[in-house]
Amino acid sequence: MDIGLLSFIIFLPLVVSFILLILPVDMKVTRNIAFATTVVVFLLSLSIFFQFRLTDYMQFREFHPWITSYGIYYSLGVDGFSMIILMLITTLIPLGYLFLWKTKKAKGYWASMLLIQTGVTGALLSLDLVLFYFFWESMLLPVFMIIGIYGTGNRIFSTLKITIYTIMGSLFMLVSILYLGVAFYNEFGVWSFQLSDLVQITILSNLQRTLLFFGFMIAFAIKIPIFPFHTWLMQTYSNSPTGGVFILSAIMAKLGIYGIVRFVLPLFPHQYVEFAPYFVGLGVFGLIYFGIAALMQQNIKRMFAYSSASHLAFITAGIFSLNAYGMTGAAFLIVAHAMATGGLFLLVGNLEYYLGIRTISGLGGIAKKAPFLTVAFALMLLCIVGLPGTNGFVSELLIILGLFQYNHYVGVISALTVLVAASFMFWLFQRAILVKTNNDISELKDLDKKEIFGIFGLGAVIIAMGIYPHWFLYKIEPTIQHYLLDILKVGVAS
């Protein structure tokens, strides 16, 4: 069959990973080739970005038989929403590799990172629900290996916990997918698991659709995570190696948000609108709850884990706000949050590499010892708090406007909560980075050339998106309007 651009993006890391595992090459060669592979994938994605047309339909379609007797096809495509996340993934990963360069892990570590990239991009670009489920589950094994083999502390328990959580959520989704396939067969006399076909089902009752809606939502809520499905978060982040935390927080969590918009919204538009108030409320509650939990942490890694969950809850509120401001802001914040949080976890990993695991009070005086690290830390924090001129400001402003349009009281609460979080971030930066203490940080080294290129590459994109947001927003606007006008039928904010 003809291999398209999307297939190259998905399977190139997989093929390279298997070759590297088979060949008798050492860790350094594996790392170098893995990095080169991610750069090639980035260039392919960049080609898609520049060729992408401003329409609301799927582009770069690939459609090939797979298990035709049951209507399962190898079906891929990209629209404005998936395209911006594709660019996020393929930009973040090679820049993250530069920051992980000095990691002295076995070749299996780098091979697993490539396997995760295949799973993530495959799930992102799949338009057949069985194919999506295949890639969704395929991400689990390399994550299991990275945390279980290369993690720290009680890594085995953390690995089992996230695995059990993910599998249980995925089982709910699998049952829902199969139920939809059977319903389509009962109504039309043929099998299909194509998203474009399943949205045509009319024989399901409201109760059935509601149960299926929550079957999908449980799987995605665990991945994000949404309260109260977050209990795997802290231990997993704490015991994962830096690369694992980077992948989990910056990339894999965003797939949960993506799954809601890609599949739940078109398959269950009535339930999406009906339960939107509850998920907006849950999102705002999570914004506050995880924010308070972050305030109570003494370990900087745990604090950023809760801060990350707080922003993901904010994104959840945005995608359920049922207006263009909130949904566009949520899409933009997916990118902004991934870059800033991914950057922060890479920087914290750098501190952990030289100083070991420390509390916030055990740091201090870093600004004088490591000026490049300090500037990078400040830039990522400014993006997190939404300083004007960063993409964090654009995204948070749009979501707050969307929540104001949804409900004035919800808008006020979310705006005040974001301001409180910003104040705490500045306090953290002063305490852990700027203030001089008697703590011994003599082992700390500043960023090297590769790390500077990687982290300031992220910083350049953060600022470019903050100053010229239209370069990125106009690509997604037709898709958002299609979701709101044609599927949810709730209108678009002018």
Predicted model pTM: 0.88
Instruction: Judge whether 22 lies within some domain.
Output: no
Instruction: Judge whether 89 lies within some domain.
Output: no
User: What is the C-alpha to C-alpha distance for residues 416 and 188, in angstroms, rounded to an integer?
Assistant: 51
Q: CA triplet 414, 231, 242: central angle to 5 degrees?
A: 90
Q: Which domain holds residue 387?
A: 275-494
User: What is the C-alpha to C-alpha distance for residues 106 and 146, in angstroms, rounded to an integer?
Assistant: 11
Instruction: Judge whether 414 lies within some domain.
Output: yes
Provide the 8-state DSSP code for 462. H
User: What is the C-alpha to C-alpha distance for residues 180 and 7, in angstroms, rounded to an integer?
Assistant: 26
Amino acid (1-letter code) at residue 250: A
Amino acid (1-letter code) at residue 460: A
Q: Which helix (H) or strand (E) holds 299?
A: none
Q: How many domains does the chain have?
A: 1
Q: Which two tokens stand for residue 376?
A: 């990078």
Instruction: Judge whether 59 lies within some domain.
Output: no
Listed residue (33, 37, 34, 57) closest to 45, CA to CA:
37
Which ranges constitute the DSSP H helices of 300-390? Answer: 300-319, 324-355, 366-369, 371-385
Instruction: Judge whether 445 lies within some domain.
Output: yes
What does the pLDDT profile of the chain (494 residues) look like in tens digits?
456 889 999 999 999 999 988 888 888 888 889 999 999 999 999 998 888 887 767 888 888 888 888 889 999 999 888 888 898 899 888 988 888 887 777 788 888 889 999 999 999 999 999 999 999 988 888 887 888 777 777 777 777 777 788 888 889 999 999 999 999 999 988 999 998 899 898 898 999 999 999 999 999 988 888 888 777 777 777 777 777 778 878 888 888 888 998 999 999 999 999 999 999 988 888 888 888 887 777 777 778 788 888 888 888 888 898 888 888 888 888 888 888 888 888 888 888 777 776 677 777 778 777 888 888 888 888 888 878 888 888 888 888 888 888 888 888 888 887 776 667 777 777 777 777 777 767 777 888 888 888 888 888 888 888 888 887 777 788 888 888 887 887 754 44
User: What is the C-alpha to C-alpha distance for residues 89 and 250, in angstroms, rounded to an integer?
Assistant: 8
Instruction: Judge whether 9 lies within some domain.
Output: no
What is the Rg, in whole angstroms, of the alpha carbon atoms belonging to the chain? 22
Instruction: Judge whether 477 lies within some domain.
Output: yes
Instruction: Judge whether 314 lies within some domain.
Output: yes
User: What is the C-alpha to C-alpha distance for residues 130 and 467, in angstroms, rounded to an integer?
Assistant: 40
